Structure 1
Amino acid sequence: MPSQNVRFIGGPLDGRMQDLRDSEAVAGRLLRHIYLHDGPKIETQYELHYSAEAGWVYHHCHPGS
């Protein structure tokens, strides 16, 4: 299945690059990340954006936004 790279901006995944399948490449798509290691559950959300300059990018969604 074809894929491309997506970069994360902000939050605990800041700077991470990973594959984004073509079927997932939909602007506005939300991704939920749950951190469970050695402590309380921490949940963060990212929203997928696309621009010709940067390509696909997940931006961290701040609480209440």
Structure 2
Amino acid sequence: MPNHRVRFVGGPLDGREQSLRETDAVAGRLLRHIHLHDGPKIETHYELHYTAGGGWVYQLLGQDRG
């Protein structure tokens, strides 16, 4: 099963790249990231997009502090 590369834009994962399984490469897919280190819990949400020029990108939607 081939993998794709996905890049994160915005938030604590900004600039990170990682593998994206073919089965997960669906535009509009949401990803939740919870940061628990050194302070309050920070929850960020990313939405997966595909662009012809840039490939797969998780774009920051917003964050909640708890």
Would you say same fold, with TM above 0.5?
yes
How far apart, in 2, do the equivalents of 1:62 and 1:39 lie?
18
Corresponding residue pairs, total = 63
- TM-score w.r.t. the length of structure 2 is 0.89
* 1-structure distance, mates of 2:60, 2:27: 14
Stretches of 4+ moved more than 3 A in 1? none
Q: Distance in 2 between matches of 1:21 and 1:35?
A: 23
Q: Please list every run of 5 or more consecutive structure 2 residues that lacks an aligned counterpart in the other structure.
A: none
In the other structure, the counterpart of 1:15 is: 15
What are the equivalent positions in structure 2 for 1:40-51 lying under 5 Å apart?
Answer: 40-51=40-51
User: Residue in 2 aligned with 1:38?
Assistant: 38
In structure 2, the residue corresponding to 1:12 is in which secondary structure? helix
- In structure 2, the partner of 1:6 is 6
- Residue 59 of structure 1 aligns to a residue whose secondary structure is strand
For 2:36 and 2:9, the matched residues in 1 are separated by 20
- Sequence identity, in percent? 70
Structure 1 unaligned residues grouped into runs of 5+? none
**TM-score, with length taken from structure 1:** 0.90
Q: Which has the higher strand share?
A: 2
Letter in 2 for 1:32: R
